[in-house]
Structure 1
Amino acid sequence: MSNANKAKGTRYESEIRDFLNARGFDVKRVVQMGRADQGDLHGYPLHIIEAKSVKSIDLPAFVRQADREATNAAQPFGVCFVKKVRGSTGEGYAVRSIATDIRLIRRLRDMEVALRGENFELYEALDRQHREAA
């Protein structure tokens, strides 16, 4: 990989970090570890993020890499953020396998049921907040 490509990747990782942190997260870039790599960004709840800013998009390879790196980082979910050509950071794509997405949605569903049963007023307030944030 040329230094120009590495710089492009580093720039995109920083863009994602800044974008997420401006929205209330505490995301940090992490050091690459070769075979034991743990993704590009940590601090996105329950996830590692693998960032890709490339001309040639290879979704199967990206998803495999994100899943492998989530396992390495002991996180339940991997996601690959892929830069949209001539698009803003927020217009990029979040890519995961359908199997991973199902696990994530099941977890969200089960946690919502638990919260609703434990503290209905808090559940209603959070539900309203997130519906209005769209």
Structure 2
Amino acid sequence: MTAAKRKGTAWESAWTAYIREHHNPEAHRNVQMGAKDIGDVSGYYLHAAELKAEKTITLSSYIAQANREAVHAGQPYGCAVVKRRMKGTGDGYVVRDVATDVRLMNRMRDMEEALKDAAFDRWYDIDEEHRRAAA
């Protein structure tokens, strides 16, 4: 295995562990399937995640790949998860193109409005929890 491949595998493993702890305990690395890849890691809610740990960052190719893999995975959103050099896992970057991000924000807005209408107290508690986490 090349040094670059080892670095990529280490990043995928570290990010998967981070996602398991902070987001979804069922997250896992995927077996690569060539032209029909479904992303490097499954379990990042609604996303196909394409992980990159490279010295030279080429966002346009990462995003194009993530969006293709989202289609293959049957997920509505693709994202590139890019390792930040000399930093820990939580300091990496999750990157989407603007069109994908706007679709995601529209979904969040619509779902929040629906939850407010259906169960305002539940929406309020969730909103408070996430505002506290951001502080």
Deviation at 1:20, TM superposition (A): 1.2
Deviation at 1:3, TM superposition (A): 2.3
- CA offsets 1:36-88 (integer angstroms, 9 cap, x no match): 01100001110111000001111000000000000000000011010011011
1: CA distance between counterparts of 2:90 and 2:81? Answer: 10
> Is 1:71 the equivalent of 2:71?
yes
Query: Which residue of 2 is the match for residue 34 of structure 1?
Result: 34
1: CA distance between counterparts of 2:58 and 2:64? Answer: 10
Stretch moving more, 34-43 or 5-14: 5-14
Cα-Cα RMSD: 0.9
1: CA distance between counterparts of 2:133 and 2:20? Answer: 16
TM-score where L is the length of structure 1: 0.96
TM-score where L is the length of structure 2: 0.95
Deviation at 1:120, TM superposition (A): 0.5
Query: Which residue of 2 is the match for residue 91 of structure 1?
Result: 91
1: CA distance between counterparts of 2:84 and 2:5? Answer: 18
2: CA distance between counterparts of 1:5 and 1:36? Answer: 23
Structure 1 residue ranges, 4+ long, deviating more than 2 angstroms after superposition: none
What 5-or-longer segments of structure 2 have no aligned partner? none
* Equivalences, count: 133
What 5-or-longer segments of structure 1 have no aligned partner? none
